[in-house]
Amino acid sequence: MTIQALEQERLTKTYEKLLQAQQASEKLLQKELEQGQKDLDVSQDDIRMSNDNWGDRLDSFAVIEMKNREMDQRRFAIEMAEKRLAQINRLLESPYFGKIDVLFDEDEEIEPFYIGINGFTDESHNNLIYDWRSPIAELFYNNELGDSSYEVNGNNIDVSIENRRQLVMERELLKFVFDTAVAIDDEVLLSVLEKDATNAMQDITASIQKEQNLIIRDEKNSLMLVNGVAGSGKTSVIMQRIAYLLYRNRQDINEDDVLILSPNEGFIKYISEVLPSLGEKNPLNLTFRGLLEQLTLTETETEETYFNRITQLDVSEQTKVLRSQAFVQFLKEKGNDILSSSELPVSGINLKDEVLIKAATILDYFKNAPKTVSFLDQVQGVKLHLESLWEEILNKESLESKNQDQLQLLSEQEQRQLFGKLIPDTEEQIMRFTKKMLRKKYRSIPEKIKELEWLDTQKLMEILYESYTGVAYQEGEETVDSEVIYLLTQHLFVEKLYAPRLKFLFIDEVQDYTSAQICFIKELFPKAKMTMVGDEDQGIFNSVIDFTQIEEILESYQGAPKTYNLQKSYRSSGAITQTFNKLRGKRHEDIIPIQPIGEVPSYVSLNDFENLKNLIESKDIKNTRIITKTIEETQQLTAELDEDYLRGRKIKVTPISLAKGLEFDYVLLYDVSSQNYQTDQDKRLLYTAVSRAMKTVMITYQDELVEWLN
Ligand SMILES: Nc1ncnc2c1ncn2[C@@H]1O[C@H](COP(=O)(O)OP(=O)(O)OP(=O)(O)O)[C@@H](O)[C@H]1O
């Protein structure tokens, strides 16, 4: 029998078992659901609250308690049954993709292990498929034959890998089998890469490469920094790593302990199906702007304004300071002393025109606060004082005859409305109800005290800025940069920001973060284990940071990160990869293209929009993404070419900043002329744009093509 026939036979048997398991699971689920409904009906009859006496009531509570417990158990059973059925259904699409033959001991027989997207055990407890995240599966991804080892619960197990096989199947049909020892190239990988682009990112479980696998399975390092070329699988690695960590730490973490920070809203949608397709729930996925919005519950600048601003060449001196690590360092080192000895921006607490607590009183509290404690503790101490002061004021006021008179003037109807009953006519009760009345009248005051309305955080930030730079802070529009320093001022000196206690944080496109943003994230999530991925050459914004800087920042907090480099590029054809390779910084090693050479990029000289339309017509361009350098160019092109016309041809126009992280089969780059692309930042923009293309790229320009591509 050939290998193909043997494996087909095994697949047919496994498939049969999967179908049986599917039927059994469906039946079980149906039974649980029906039983659940019955329980619900019965409990409604059972639970008749007895009001006769205490003993009967307690009995009723005990019955409710027991029914609740039963229903919880039922819900759990239903969830488990649904989960198992979903796993089986996923496996039925493609049961497994890998096989390793392992020899544990010379005297023993070789044991085969089949690896799939989930594990599967038949009714006799035979492990027919191992989950790709199980310890033994590591051997498959290590991609080597002979002596090897893998780890189970911290113990190293030495083995010999006798064979590694890749299998491509569609449902019960085996399409190809490759043994690593025979195949020189990774045929499976190449066939996966041949596929067309889709609207949603796909998982890469069946073809994870050795160097990617090291990152996915790294559980030793709490800080990881991955510098990978365009198309090297950085985002894919993040997604697979999350699935891996959720599986391996099922007892301790779930998706709520994880946060992904993504470059833009479109990208969040693009990656949203990967984890569900692996049977995991999506964790919270935000842009950095979105994170700020969650913290402040207000909107900062829009994504478009933000990208417009950070793609400009010029950055004001003030913004440079707000973005710098040095300023954050200054805040942390000197902030307490500066604020403790500054004139504080404090205001009194009022209700309309009535001053209830004077600014001078608050300042006195600050004066009397011990200077040995941090400024944040002083603020919190003052807040406590204000809270008790407010209680004292209310007590005093409720003894005042003018207030008591006011209470007694209330009609019976008003009394009922305010207190739900009539006020008893004793001295003590009058005082109590006067206080109640005042509490209602001044209900916003405790809120104002609690929310620190009496201390102007913005002004505190300005004091700190001025001490650092020697020049006054220029108030203007709120930007992401000013917001970061505002929130840091609040977090360090006024009141700690509420942030979920994350266990894992993932940052994609980390090269686009400012130093201050990275510091801010570290301050906010001090305990989270972090995986940051990015590509220095894709730093397309004026906020670009290099990886040495990132390492320095991380080191200043928690020690050096473990760094990884990914040098192979999977997304684009060989010719496109060579083209964007030309656009990288000189000190970088060449990118290794994985795909065959494919079609060479074409270059077309164009003079105006009209010509672009002619080009689209003459070459019958369809299903294409036109990428422009700026948002304005996108708006201009869309208007000139007409949205309906573009829709009819399935052409979309997108600026580079919003095409980040995405990929398209056919790309047309608009106006890559030497006029339009001049600076180093432009070069990185172009590198990012070219590397979005998978199959073909057409590069258009006016007058003269940019010299980097000549
Ligand atoms: N091991 C792999 N097997 C199959 N496909 C892969 C593999 N690694 C990467 N790819 C594919 O390569 C493309 C690029 O991957 P991904 O977007 O994760 O890379 P990236 O490094 O984040 O890219 P960029 O920084 O350029 O946006 C995707 O289509 C992805 O599916």
Beta-bridge mates of residue 116 = 131
Nearest residue (by CA) to ligand 1, atom 27, is: 661
Q: pLDDT (tens digit, 9 = 90+) per residue, 356-393?
A: 999 999 999 999 999 889 999 999 999 999 999 999 99
3-state secondary structure (DSSP) of residue 234: helix
pLDDT of residue 43: 63
The four Cα atoms 678, 682, 684, 685 give a dihedral, to 10 degrees, of -140
Is there a binding annotation on residue 575?
Answer: no
Asked whether residue 400 is domain-assigned, the answer is: yes
**Residue 89's domain spans which residues?**
3-93
CB 653 within 8 A of CB 615: no
Among 400, 422, 455, give the residue marking a domain's end: 455
- 233 Cα–ligand 1 center, Å: 3
Mean pLDDT for all residues in the chain: 91
- 237 Cα–ligand 1 center, Å: 8
pLDDT of residue 51: 61
Quick one: the chain helix, strand, coil %, rounded to 5?
Answer: 50, 15, 35
Rounded to an integer, what is the distance from CA 238 to the centroid of its chain? 10
**Residue-by-residue DSSP string for 79-144:** HHHHHHHHHHHHHHH----EEEEEESSTTSPPEEEEEESS-EE-TT--EEEEETTSGGGHHHHHT-
For 452-491, the three-class secondary structure string (H helix, E strand, C coil) is CCCECHHHHHHHHHHHHHCCCCCCCCCCHHHHHHHHHHHH
Q: What is the pTM of this model?
A: 0.91
Tell me, what CATH number does 672's domain have? 3.40.50.300
pLDDT band, residue 607 (cuts 50/70/90): confident
pLDDT of residue 530: 97
Nearest residue (by CA) to ligand 1, atom 3, is: 207
Q: Is the pLDDT of residue 183 over 70?
A: no
pLDDT of residue 182: 54
Please state, in angstroms and rounded to a whole number, the distance separating the CA atoms of residues 688 and 224: 23
Please state, in angstroms and rounded to a whole number, the distance separating the CA atoms of residues 440 and 147: 77
Is there a binding annotation on residue 528?
Answer: no
Among 78, 93, 108, give the residue marking a domain's end: 93
Q: Which tokens hold the place of 212? A: 């990617």
Q: pLDDT (tens digit, 9 = 90+) per residue, 254-268?
A: 999 999 999 999 999
Q: pLDDT (tens digit, 9 = 90+) per residue, 330-354?
A: 999 999 999 999 999 999 999 998 9
Nearest residue (by CA) to ligand 1, atom 9, is: 233
- Total domain count, the chain: 3
Rounded to an integer, what is the distance from CA 185 to the centroid of its chain? 34
- 671 Cα–ligand 1 center, Å: 27
Higher pLDDT: 46 or 523? It is 523
Is there a binding annotation on residue 648?
Answer: no
Task: Tell which residue, 477, 476, 691, 702, has the closest CA to residue 607.
Answer: 702
Half-sphere exposure (CA, 13 Å, Cβ side) for 665?
A: 13
**Residue-by-residue DSSP string for 263-293:** S-HHHHHHTTTHHHHTT----EEE-HHHHHH
Q: Is the pLDDT of residue 49 over 80?
A: no
Asked whether residue 308 is domain-assigned, the answer is: no
> Ligand 1 pocket test: which of 235, 594, 662 has the largest number of ligand atoms within 8 Å of its C-beta?
235
- Which residues, in sequence order, are CB contacts of 105 under 8 Å at separation 6+? none
Please state, in angstroms and rounded to a whole number, the distance separating the CA atoms of residues 27 and 501: 40
- State the average pLDDT over residues 198-226: 94
Amino acid in the structure at residue 608: D
Q: Is the pLDDT of residue 184 over 70?
A: no
Task: Tell which residue, 261, 266, 271, has the closest CA to residue 507.
Answer: 261
3-state secondary structure (DSSP) of residue 63: helix
Among 93, 125, 152, give the residue marking a domain's end: 93
Amino acid in the structure at residue 111: E
> Ligand 1 pocket test: which of 189, 203, 204 has the largest number of ligand atoms within 8 Å of its C-beta?
204
CB 336 within 8 A of CB 375: yes
Please state, in angstroms and rounded to a whole number, the distance separating the CA atoms of residues 153 and 159: 16
CB 208 within 8 A of CB 534: no
Q: Where are the alpha helices (DSSP H) in 409-443?
A: 412-419, 427-441
Q: In what helix (H) or strand (E) does residue 120 lie, and over which residues does it extend? A: strand 120-121
Q: Is the dihedral of CA 642, 644, 647, 649 positive or negative?
A: negative
Asked whether residue 282 is domain-assigned, the answer is: no
Largest Cα–Cα distance in the chain?
104
Q: Is the pLDDT of residue 319 over 70?
A: yes
pLDDT band, residue 653 (cuts 50/70/90): very high
pLDDT of residue 302: 85
Least confidently predicted of 64-68, 312-316, 642-646? 64-68
Q: Which tokens hold the place of 263? A: 């470059």
Q: Ligand 1 pocket: which residues have CB below 6 Å?
A: 189, 192-193, 202, 204, 207-209, 212, 228, 230-236, 535, 538, 570-571, 661, 663, 691
Is there a binding annotation on residue 154?
Answer: no
Q: In what helix (H) or strand (E) does residue 95 lie, and over which residues does it extend? A: none
Asked whether residue 521 is domain-assigned, the answer is: no
**In the β-sheet with 284-286, what is the strand arrangement from edge to edge?**
284-286, 258-261, 504-507, 529-534, 223-228, 562-566
Is there a binding annotation on residue 229?
Answer: yes
Asked whether residue 620 is domain-assigned, the answer is: yes
Is there a binding annotation on residue 228?
Answer: yes
pLDDT band, residue 543 (cuts 50/70/90): confident
Asked whether residue 662 is domain-assigned, the answer is: yes
Q: How many other C-beta atoms can be found within 10 angstroms of the C-beta atom of residue 529?
A: 17
Q: How many other C-beta atoms can be found within 10 angstroms of the C-beta atom of residue 102?
A: 21
Asked whether residue 533 is domain-assigned, the answer is: no
Please state, in angstroms and rounded to a whole number, the distance separating the CA atoms of residues 90 and 86: 6
- Which residues, in sequence order, are CB contacts of 85 under 8 Å at separation 6+? 22, 25, 26, 29
CB 366 within 8 A of CB 341: no
Amino acid in the structure at residue 181: A
Q: In what helix (H) or strand (E) does residue 260 lie, and over which residues does it extend? A: strand 258-261
Asked whether residue 366 is domain-assigned, the answer is: yes
Task: Tell which residue, 555, 562, 541, 544, has the closest CA to residue 227.
Answer: 562
Inter-CA distances, 369 with 246, 306, 459, Å: 47, 41, 20
